Structure 1
Amino acid sequence: MSRIGKKAIPVPGGVTVTVDGQTVKAKGPKGELSFIVTDLCTVALEENEVLVKPVNDSKPARSQWGMSRTQISNMIQGVANEFTKTLELVGVGYRAQMKGSALSLALGYSHDIDYPAPDGVKITVPKQTEIVLTGIDKQKVGQAAAEIRAFRPPEPYKGKGVKYADEYIFRKEGKKK
């Protein structure tokens, strides 16, 4: 049984949630999102809580139960207050700057990398070595952060590369004579 799926999702003040069949819509101060729940789960709105339950006790229904609950929870949390991911650039000459709506990265290659900001994700560069991504959709923010990190992932010897702000880089010692 899903432990996550059993929890009711509280609806914070300022957010309105509507359930229309299998479609759940959340509207808040930051924006509006919708999610279509699989047919293996049912969604009910009771007082100020959203409840997700499986249709039957089959393995596919139970596996979709917790995922559906988490998707709805992330949607409600996103429209109430945005999700944020912070990336850091570590390395000599590694810089980031905004060129219009695109992010321009100098990561030690012979050319700069231009990354266009995806829809629903706002990219800001408070310092040359720091990138902040914000948005209401957790999946889009995380995907954009992962794509930027993939241009130059951190290496274990000197720690150079693009890393998450809260990421720990396991260091290796290197060769000895």
Structure 2
Amino acid sequence: MFDYISGKLVRCSLDSVTLEASGIGYRIMIAPNCQSQLPPTTSPLLLYVSFVIREFSQSLYGFQHEADRDLFETLLNVSGIGPKLALSIIGHMPSDTLQKTLFNKDITALCKIPGIGKKTAERLLLELKGVSICTVNSSQEYKEAVPSLVHDAVSALVNLGVTQINAYNAVSKTYSSLNEPKDLELLVTASLRNM
């Protein structure tokens, strides 16, 4: 429904901000570590938002980076993970660290996040197995580890409106199934078919 909200920062608390845009004040929930990264009150601010509808509430969740919002929405697809726990995960572990933790099946590290016990950590490992949650394009480590053809194909899919995470997952799956193709057009079209 909403992609982002841009406006003036009116109020800031530990778990939410109020953004005024076109005379309307939007209360937007934020991750625990986000408050320290926000500009002073009355400054302009743009937050990428996710609109979550529950049985008795409708809430906006805001992120300074689009990739964090995509990660939030990916985490919501895990059974037993609600918006508050997804925010807690994002607030306590950067996405690249979370990706490594899941890859290494490090339940102990996941259990250090407030609200996550052993069963929830195991469920995260199971349901996010093989899913890339890194903020692709933003880390130097990603650019060095991934062939430029994959990077170009991900960029092409993002330009077509696919989220970064979905684009990366589709391209990396297709790239390995086609035995490292050399043609960008082939990789992009095959990746679109695999989505």
Question: By the TM > 0.5 criterion, same fold?
Answer: no
Larger fraction in helix: 2
Say which structure, 1 or 2, has more relative contact order (CA 8 Å, 6+ apart): 1
TM-score, L = length of structure 2: 0.26
TM-score between both structures, scaled by the size of structure 1 = 0.28
